[in-house]
Amino acid sequence: MNPVWTHIPIMAPEIAELILRAPNGVYVDGTLGLGGHTRYFLSKLGPTARIFGFDKDTQALQMATQRTADTRLTACHSGYSRAAQVLAEYGITQVDGALFDLGLSSYQLDDPSRGFSILQDGPLDMRFDTTGPVSAADVVNTWGMDDLTRIFTEYGEEPRAAQLAHAILTARRETPFATTGQVKKLAETVLGPQRGRIHPATRMFQALRIACNGEFDEVKQIPKVLTQILKLGGRAAVLTFHSLEDRLIKNGFKELCAKGGWQLVNKHTLVPSYEEIRQNRRARSAKLRVIERL
């Protein structure tokens, strides 16, 4: 029996209000996930509107298509960095708005077989696209001391990155890493047991996930993608969930505005309401930035 995955789209009404300015326009959902935002958007859009949803995760695309059951959605198996090229295949050159939700889908976190979760033991995978060339197991079992230290520092902001990297190199000589539980145990050995709400392996898991999916390379492409696809008067919204992503988007939007022809819709980041966070704990770290093409 297949589990019923749930996903609550974060700040959906606020985002819809900000970016859905053409009732029968064309929109991009840069990270379709289970389609929560798209389903909400379609409930607010007209009969001839279209949404192109991008995702590297084939399982997510399949579930989103089934759950949405709406011909106005076109699901695209691709990263959003290739949005312009994919849209061109459908004869679309410009869109009225776009959303990039950079958070993990709940089902990815909750499914131990995907290897994203610290809470449940599973294979050490962490790939959004399970046909991708590099898994988290490849990273911890084959990357050298310098590269491991770098990703734990840059992608995880882990103060004891070098100690973790050294411990991995030592441990894998005896037994290669195959499960998330092994990595979690190593982190606890080096960093100590969990004392507060955040597990000591959290930064390490984040770094491994970002590294094997090339996430920051993709995020850095968002400003370029917007210049390729967003029409005049169109708006784009980006939801981030940690400071590293948010800094990339903040700086990227700042550079667009400095060149002219763009303006920030909200000068400061928007955040979920207290009530939304109370109902959905995964919303607590979300930050929303919105930009408009003039």
pLDDT tens digit string along 269-290? 999 999 999 999 889 999 999 9
116 within domain boundaries: no
**Residue 117's pLDDT is what?**
86
- pLDDT at position 48 over 50: yes
**Do residues 226 and 199 share a domain?**
no
Phi/psi zone of residue 74: left (φ > 0), alpha (ψ -120 to 50 degrees), beta? beta
**Do residues 34 and 75 share a domain?**
yes
**Do residues 101 and 129 share a domain?**
no
CA distance 126 to 129: 9
Q: Which DSSP category does 105 fall into?
A: P
- Token pair for 245: 């992503």
**Residue 25's pLDDT is what?**
98
**Do residues 209 and 225 share a domain?**
no
Out of 181, 214, 247, a domain closes at 214
**Contact yes or no for 122/115 (Cβ under 8 A):** yes
Q: Which DSSP category does 196 fall into?
A: S
**Do residues 229 and 199 share a domain?**
no
Domain that holds residue 60: 12-107+216-293
**Do residues 103 and 220 share a domain?**
yes
Q: What's the number of domains the chain is made of?
A: 2
**Do residues 20 and 94 share a domain?**
yes
**Do residues 133 and 205 share a domain?**
yes
**Do residues 207 and 232 share a domain?**
no
**Do residues 95 and 40 share a domain?**
yes
pLDDT band at 172 (very low <50, low <70, confident <90, very high): very high
CATH code of the domain containing 76: 3.40.50.150
pLDDT, mean of residues 232-256:
96
pLDDT band at 6 (very low <50, low <70, confident <90, very high): low
47 within domain boundaries: yes
**Do residues 154 and 176 share a domain?**
yes
CATH code of the domain containing 143: 1.10.150.170
**Among 24-28, 195-199, 242-246, 255-259, where is mean pLDDT lowest?**
195-199
pLDDT band at 119 (very low <50, low <70, confident <90, very high): confident
The letter for the amino acid at 171 is A
1 within domain boundaries: no
Out of 214, 248, 265, a domain closes at 214
- Give strand ranges (E) for 170-281: 230-240, 262-264
pLDDT tens digit string along 138-166? 999 999 999 999 999 999 999 999 999 99
**Do residues 101 and 232 share a domain?**
yes
Phi, psi dihedral angles at 55 (to 5 degrees): -165, 145
Residue with tokens 């990227």: 252
Out of 170, 194, 214, a domain closes at 214
Residue with tokens 């145990």: 185
Task: Identify the three-state secondary structure at position 194.
Answer: coil
